[in-house]
Amino acid sequence: MFEWMKQHPFGVEAFFERSVVLTYAFPREQLEPFLPARLSLDTFQDETAFVAVAMVQTKSLRPKGFPRWLGRDFLLVGYRIFVRYESRAGKRLRGLYILKSETDRKFMEVLGNLFTHYRYTKVDVALRDLESRITVQCDTTGFAVTVERGEQDEPPLPSCSPFASWKEARRFAGPLPFTFSVILKSQRVVMIEGVRQNWKPRPVPVMEHHVPFVLSLTGEAPTLASAFMTENIPYSWKKGVIETWPE
């Protein structure tokens, strides 16, 4: 019963007040060990793989169809690898594989781990929205990210970015159409499709980025590839779709 509950048994909807996504580049061989069977890396020029760190201020998150006043507000931080999955029907799908999730509410930690495989932990993370900057900080873990709003002309790309233009970088800006979970013991893949409206990420300058979990993946300082922000987006996730593979 509990395993069934963790497979996204119902749709979810929310309002994204703001979303800031930092994308880090890695040589593909450094990220391949983190992927379960059935998933492969979604790479740039067949050499570079990516981890996205998404910081999302959600409003009225609730099961789909429930009235908005029953929803809850959360700050969510997700660490995700860009991946591909070839379905049993032969469709090649782009999406994300979640390594770890953090939230500012115990309620979200409990329900998130009850209904998903997203590995939630509750931390003292907070978002401060100043006039020209947005800061996300967690004193316990040392997480600290500051971006400028970037509402004027496009800023320069981060100095060591593998991308030649923001147009290239947008392909790895997220969110992607799907999020995948893999249940290894039963050879099942859970596909969760996201539905977004008016998603227009804009590049933003990064003033500070210290993300200990990303650093811990390889023990080396990660390469910042891009940073994007979106605001005021209705968003929803469909009920999980499960594919079972023969052993």
Q: For residue 74, give Cα distances in angstroms to 97, 131, 149.
A: 21, 21, 21
Domain ranges within the chain, ordered by starting residue: 2-244
Which stretches of 28-71 are assigned E, i.e. beta strand? 39-41, 48-63
Q: How confident is the model at residue 8 (pLDDT cuts 50, 70, 90)?
A: confident
How confident is the model at residue 173, as a pLDDT? 86
Q: Residue 59: which residues within 8 A CB-CB, separation 6 or more?
A: 14, 15, 16, 17, 71, 73
How far, in Å, CA of 187 to CA of 177, rounded?
22
Asked if 127 and 144 count as a contact pair (C-beta separation under 8 A), the reply is no
The per-residue pLDDT for range 234-243, each reduced to its tens digit, is 999 999 999 9
Average pLDDT over residues 193-198: 86
User: At residue 14, does pLDDT exceed 70?
Assistant: yes
Which residues have CB under 8 Å from 108's CB, separation 6+? 61, 72, 74, 76, 120, 122
Q: Work out the pLDDT band at 2, boundaries 50, 70, 90.
A: low
CATH, domain range 2-244: 2.40.400.10
Residue 1 confidence (pLDDT) above 70: no
Query: Taking all residues of the chain, what is their mean pLDDT, rounded to a whole number?
Result: 91
State how far the Cα of 93 lies from the Cα of 105, in Å rounded to an integer.
32
**What is the residue whose two structure tokens read 């970088």?**
169
Q: Which pLDDT does position 41 carry in this prediction?
A: 98
Q: Which two tokens stand for residue 37?
A: 């069977």
- pLDDT tens-digit series, residues 37-57: 899 999 999 999 999 999 999
| Cα–Cα dist 175/125, whole Å | 21
